[in-house]
Structure 1
Amino acid sequence: MTGKTFDLDKKELINQSFNQMDTHLQGAQYNQAQKLALTCRILFDNGHDSGLAGQITARGEKTGTYLTQRLGLGFDEICVSNLLLVNEDLEVLQGDGMANPANRFHSWLYRARADVQCIIHTHALHTAALSMLEIPLEISHMDNCVLYDDVAFLPKWPGVPVGNEEGELIAQAIGTKRAILLAHHGLLVACPSIEEACLLAIAFERAAKMQLLALAAGEIKPINSGLGREAHDWILRSQRSAVGFAYYARRSLKNNNFDCLK
């Protein structure tokens, strides 16, 4: 007999969908280093290329350590074999080469946020352009609600972020949120998983592009706050992040011939 769900309210239907996600949605099986290398390639494919600018890190097994890319390589060149394991002082524990000195603010943020397992910082084009206006990122479309009420704003540019002052400033400005727009700089996302961080970085750049397009046409209208939070929680599920990441990974691997996994 059909029509069994037509008398259910929205909350019941959402919970029913969440239960189905828990049962049916599964991500791909990659280890941490493979996920980090894939994230570099995925973000390169999705408009986050800015030469050698930007850093992507993930916590290591030992406290005070994290994986990151080698300075001198672009996101499109990162693979498991050229990742570095560094400590909070950016001393290389495993791998060859050096980390980006700007990774120092990652160390500060990891200290401040025990919930964070992955940090992504890029100078994606539309985000960088928006940052020049010294205005916050506006979330006013359903597709971008994964970031609704979850993006901080740092209106002050502290200069090249290689000092401890910049680390303290950024860690304080982001607070408990998952993302922040850095004026005259770029974006940063800090999440409890690599998969989630990757998807939020993609969503951030898309939201910035949409904001610039909308501003060129007129005034951006806000969405209902309750519905925005509802959409945020609807999209931001670990199972959705896992399968979303797996989708982007499949796309990237078609272009990279699986070399980034080695």
Structure 2
Amino acid sequence: MSTMTAPKDELVKLAESRMKVAIAENTWTDRQKLALTCRILFEGGHDSGLAGQITCRAEAPGTYYTQRLGLGFDEIRAQNLLLVDEDLNVLDGGGMANPANRFHSWLYRARPDVNCIIHTHPLHIAALSTLEVPLVVSHMDLCPLYGDVAFLEKWPGVPVGNEEGEIIAEAIGDKKAILLSHHGQLIAGATIEEACVLAMLIERAAKMQLLAMAAGEIKPIPENLAREAHDWISKPKRHSAAFDYYSRRVLGRHNDCLL
């Protein structure tokens, strides 16, 4: 079949149909995918001591998996993850969850579409957050974030109270991400794979923005083309393929995370 004269919309549909067949689904459990995410983000510069939380919904309503307070992202394994309820009571595992996980409970309550939350303080996001300016998306690779990043301009303090949970849940609205001034970033993903890929992307976006701001004025990209790119790149199969690639990259050094 010749495609050399086919219009763009037909080529997009053809590529999507081929992806559904050509890209296989991974077979890791949610615990393993969450542990892989911790190692991927560690290698991607998202670690900041013990700061940051990564969670995903568990089987029972109102419960989720998260890492144990006291362990860094590079120490997380499938077996040392905690199962907690929305009050952060540990239902399975040893130790305690990070008290700042409380705002995850508020976001899960507000967003039934969210199944994985990643909150981290990577260097370039943290640096950008001190300027109290929104994230600017003006490059093709960053378009999965186009129109999907909220901004909380005023820092409400450490997110261990219910007030912070309400503020952050309201500020992010229905978007996939939020830049938190003087703090960090948060991703609200439909899947673990999507959340991990967007977390890697938002740190790259902040780094790119800081470099561009230092060189001159950032020019906007056309909205219609940006939204087209957003929808094209933001396919579950593409997120899955990217997550699998990131996983292959880290498993050579972090194969203990699956245990």
> What range describes the TM-score normalised by the shorter chain of this pair?
over 0.9
**Equivalences for residues 47-196 of structure 1 within 5 A:** 47-196=45-194
Paired residue for 1:233?
231
Q: How far apart are residue 206 of structure 1 and its match?
A: 0.2
User: Alpha-carbon deviations, 1:125-181, whole Å to 9, x = none?
Assistant: 000000000000000000100111000000010000000000000000000000000
TM-score (norm 2): 0.99
Paired residue for 1:255?
253
Q: How far apart are residue 29 of structure 1 and its match?
A: 1.2
Contact 1:105 1:161 in 2 (8 A): yes
Which amino acid counterpart does residue 75 of structure 1 have in structure 2? F
Contact 1:57 1:68 in 2 (8 A): yes
Match of 1:24 among 19, 22, 25: 22
Counterparts of 2:172 and 2:149, CA distance in 1:
8
Q: Percent identity?
A: 66
Aligned residue pair count: 259
Q: How far apart are residue 27 of structure 1 and its match?
A: 3.5
Contact 1:92 1:98 in 2 (8 A): yes
Contact 1:40 1:56 in 2 (8 A): yes
How large is the Cα RMSD of the aligned pairs? 0.7
User: Alpha-carbon deviations, 1:15-74, whole Å to 9, x = none?
Assistant: 111111111112321000000000000000001010100000000100000000000000
TM-score (norm 1): 0.98
Counterparts of 1:13 and 1:199, CA distance in 2:
25
Q: Which runs of 4+ in 1 moved over 3 A?
A: none
Counterparts of 1:219 and 1:12, CA distance in 2:
36
Counterparts of 1:113 and 1:127, CA distance in 2:
24
Unaligned ranges ≥5, structure 1: none
Counterparts of 1:27 and 1:242, CA distance in 2:
7
User: Alpha-carbon deviations, 1:97-127, whole Å to 9, x = none?
Assistant: 0000000000000000000000000000000
Paired residue for 2:203?
205
**Equivalences for residues 8-23 of structure 1 within 5 A:** 8-23=6-21
Counterparts of 2:218 and 2:240, CA distance in 1:
32
Contact 1:148 1:232 in 2 (8 A): yes
